[in-house]
């Protein structure tokens, strides 16, 4: 098996496990907190892609997403 493929597969499995564990932690949150966390995650991912992988783009996207998610649930 290709070493590069194995590394990517391991990273993908670790990412999926981390997401599932994180979502399990949302069980005690109210709706507004869940929307804020979801907005931050989606915004962070969008900022990462649109910012070309920069930390500033990721942080800005997460902040914007958290704000929008928080305001949507008002």
At residue 65 the predicted structure's pLDDT band, cuts being 50, 70 and 90, is very high
The burial of 2, by beta-carbon neighbours within 10 Å (0-12 exposed, 13-18 middle, 19 or more buried), is given as: exposed
Least confident interval from 23-27, 28-32, 55-59, 62-66: 23-27
At residue 16 the predicted structure's pLDDT band, cuts being 50, 70 and 90, is confident
pTM for the model stands at 0.67
Report the 10 Å Cβ neighbour count for 47. 22
């Amino acid at each position: 098996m290709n070493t590069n493929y194995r590394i990517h597969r391991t990273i993908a499995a670790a990412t999926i496990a981390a997401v599932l564990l994180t979502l399990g932690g949302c069980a005690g949150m109210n709706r507004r907190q869940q929307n804020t966390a979801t907005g931050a995650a989606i915004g962070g991912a969008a900022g990462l892609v649109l910012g070309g992988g920069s930390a500033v783009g990721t942080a800005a996207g997460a902040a914007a997403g958290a704000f929008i998610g928080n305001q949507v649930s008002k």
